[in-house]
Amino acid sequence: MHVTRVDISAIERELQQLWQERASEAARTGQAVTRALTLNLVARATEPQLAERISAMAHELMASHPNRAILAICRPAADAPQIDAWVQANCLLTAPGVPQVCGEQITIDAHGAATAQVASLILALLVPDLPVVLWLPGATPFNEPLLPRLIGVLDRLIVDSRELDEPARGLVRMAAFERDPGLPAGSARRVALSDLGWAALTPWRELTAQFFDTRPLLPHLRRIDRVAIDYVPAPGPPNPAAGLLVAGWLASCLGWTPLEDAVRVVGDTLQLQLRRPALGDDPNTSRPVMISITPVTGTPDAPAGLAALRLQALDGVTADFRVARADTAGHVFTTAVIAGHPPLHRLARCAEPALIDLLAAELRLLSRDHTFSAALHMAARFASQLV
């Protein structure tokens, strides 16, 4: 990785010089280099350690999403206003005997009042006619001053609900942004919202849906009356965002309607009360559905995240479906127990997705994720009663 410190006004000139040097090096060594850019990836960090992690991610993404990464390190609390920048080529050899795929990274390090200049610099450095993705890691992404300054050029905003310092308020803010990101009047642009916390739930959602892929079990899906969601919290106050998103996913997919006072807090457990259509000839009848979201204690090395998801049907023929972490790391047990039938058990792989894989998956999306949108807005309805 070649790094050069540059003056702010000379960034593009230094990039050209950087690529000339790479081309000369390739000619000398015989290792071909391909400059390939498919998107602008803008990310904000507030301290050097986070900046290093983001930089490493941008480099790894070259394999699937060659990009111009613009990393803004913003430290507004610093006393002296100062701004520096440097450029680097991010090259990755994807397979032996093929050209290196190279993108580029521009890092802007701004202190004090100079952070006010960062947005205008980013706008000037975007590669035209390529999608613009803004990644805002951290606890308060919607308080980020860069967001309203860049909203007019964004195609996608990436946040992480697992990091929210106020999960209920954060989910409400996420839903409000997803509904209206604050674009200028008359703008035809659509800004998609991605949540890495939601993306991390994909293996759990897939395993749950697989119960009902078979014809004999499918009818029980419309008869679910009880849902129990257990999660291992990260250090600090419990963050039920994942549980609320799973509840929102189930409710939005199955047509469950929250009661007016849908949320009760019992100790550390959230209890959500809904109604679902009853089975039978009368379309106006309904049955209650109860969802509980509970933090549980995991083993000392257990990662934060979902620990178990249980769906029960109590109306008529009883049915019990459960996905729960196994003792073997990266695996879960799935169990289906239907009255009058032998139980079905399976050990399935369910590894915690790496952050780089979550980012790559979200960057593959070409438009809004409508399943996520529906789940988020339902989760925000629950969360609004906790604010």
Beta-carbon contacts of residue 212 (< 8 Å; ≥ 6 apart):
218, 220, 221
The pair of structure tokens assigned to 211 is: 């119960």
Q: What does pLDDT average to over the chain?
A: 92
Q: For 19-26, what is the mean pLDDT?
A: 79
Domain final position from 195, 220, 236: 195
Instruction: State how far the alpha carbon of 91 is from the alpha carbons of 30, 37, 70, 195, in Å.
Output: 15, 12, 16, 27
pLDDT digits (tens, 9 = 90+) for 74-90: 999 998 899 999 999 88
Residues of the chain above pLDDT 90, percent: 76
Tell me which residue range forms the domain holding 251: 199-383
Distance in Å from the first CA to the final CA of the chain: 46
Backbone angles phi, psi at 159, to 5 degrees: -130, 180
255 and 372, same domain (yes or no): yes
253 and 275, same domain (yes or no): yes
80 and 223, same domain (yes or no): no
For residues 93 and 341, the model is more confident at 341
246 and 346, same domain (yes or no): yes
**Tally of structural domains, the chain:** 2
6 and 74, same domain (yes or no): yes
28 and 177, same domain (yes or no): yes
184 and 326, same domain (yes or no): no
**pLDDT-derived band of residue 4, with 50, 70 and 90 as boundaries?**
very low
138 and 286, same domain (yes or no): no
8 Å CB contact between 76 and 115: yes
Q: Which pLDDT does position 281 carry in this prediction?
A: 61
Looking at mean pLDDT, say which of 95-99, 119-123, 244-248, 341-345 comes out highest. Answer: 244-248
Q: How far apart are CA 111 and CA 103, in angstroms?
A: 27
pLDDT digits (tens, 9 = 90+) for 126-158: 999 999 999 999 999 999 999 999 999 999 999
188 and 49, same domain (yes or no): yes
